[in-house]
Chain A
Amino acid sequence: AQTVTQSQPEMSVQEAETVTLSCTYDTSENNYYLFWYKQPPSRQMILVIRQEAYKQQNATENRFSVNFQKAAKSFSLKISDSQLGDTAMYFCAFRETSGSRLTFGEGTQLTVNP
């Protein structure tokens, strides 16, 4: 069974600075997808960024980028130029190519301070 681990329950960063959230996962699959979701206090889960395991290039979406290390089974999220609106719970998630079930980590609560 796949597992996703986020070892940082809480993180904080000053506005305009950069922060990195960690995620590791365990799988025997070779092809899969990895995701970072954001869940603000409104509870609505929003997709931040997606990475396909067979692509070596790290995904980027504006201020959000990932560091995908397949051999180490590591998938960290870097947020540059942090904004107050980035304050939320961030979940790392895994999905195998052959299936559609998302397996989520425990989440990291990020607080951006003014």
Chain B
Amino acid sequence: EAGVAQSPRYKIIEKRQSVAFWCNPISGHATLYWYQQILGQGPKLLIQFQNNGVVDDSQLPKDRFSAERLKGVDSTLKIQPAKLEDSAVYLCASSLEGTSGTEQFFGPGTRLTVL
């Protein structure tokens, strides 16, 4: 079974530039999550999708971050414009459903460096 795929693996940009990350979840997984992991910290949920609808985006900085999951499969997370504090690893995860006991499977992440 193929795992969660993410691209790119690394990205370096200057502040005020825009950047986009892509995630392809495990086939058949209805729920998709984007996490932000700042160096030395645990991941923090940014947004959760159930199929192509948003379930939780309470911790997403909506003035600069946006995400979409068209057709309920792949997802894109965008930052525009980027700030220095956005430097982090962005993890995508998926699960079969969104209930609390369901295992979340994580991708390898995208490491973003903002200069």
Query: Could you tell me which A residues sit within 8 Å of B by CB distance?
Result: 4, 32-33, 42-47, 50, 52, 91, 93, 95-102, 104-107
Contacts and interface: CB of A to CB of B under 8 A. Distances in A.
Nearest to B106: A45
Interface residues of B, number: 27
B103 A106 contact: no
A2 to B, nearest CB: 12
Contact of B100 (A33, A43, A45): A33
B56 A101 contact: yes
Given A100-B100, A106-B40, A43 B45 contact: no
Residue with the highest number of chain B CB atoms closer than 10 Å, among A33, A104, A106: A104
B45 A102 contact: yes
B100 A96 contact: yes
Contacts, number: 61
B104 to A, nearest CB: 7
A98 B40 CA distance: 29
B98 interface: yes
Which residue, A95, A100, A106, A107, has most C-beta atoms of chain B within 10 A? Answer: A100
29 contacts: A4-B42, A32-B100, A33-B100, A43-B91, A43-B111, A44-B3, A44-B107, A44-B108, A44-B109, A45-B93, A46-B106, A47-B103, A91-B42, A95-B100, A97-B100, A99-B56, A99-B100, A100-B55, A100-B98, A101-B45, A102-B43, A102-B45, A102-B104, A104-B42, A105-B42, A106-B40, A106-B42, A107-B40, A107-B42
B100 A98 contact: yes
Contacts of B3: 44
A11 to B, nearest CB: 16
